Amino acid sequence: MSRRRFAGRRALVTGASRGIGAAIARRLAAEEADVAITARTLDAHPTLPGSLQETAKHLERHGGKVAVIVADMADAQERARIVPEAVDALGGPIDVLVNNAAAAIYQPLRDYPLRRRLLTFEVNVHGPLDLAQAVIPSMVERGEGWIVNLSSGSARLFRMPPEDDGVLSTTITIYGASKAALNRLTNGLAAELYGTGVRVNTIEPRAAVLSEGADKLVGDKLRPDQIESMEEMVEATVALCDCPPDHTGRIDVSLALIDELGLTVMDLDGEAPAALGGGGARE
Report the 10 Å Cβ neighbour count for 278: 8
209 has which bridge partners? 228
The residue from 106, 112, 175, 194 that is catalytic is: 175
pLDDT above 70 covers what percent of the chain?
88
Question: pLDDT digit string (tens) for 200-233?
Answer: 999 999 877 865 454 455 445 555 556 789 999 9
Candidates 237, 244, 242, 241; CA nearest to 268 is: 237
Q: Kindly report, residue by residue over 16-73, the tens digit of the pLDDT.
A: 999 999 999 999 999 999 999 999 989 977 667 789 999 999 999 999 999 999 999 9
Q: Is-catalytic flag, 175? A: yes
Predicted confidence (pLDDT) per residue in 66-96, tens digit: 999 999 999 999 999 999 999 999 999 999 9
Backbone angles phi, psi at 162, to 5 degrees: -65, 145
| CATH T-level topology, domain 10-261 | Rossmann fold (3.40.50)
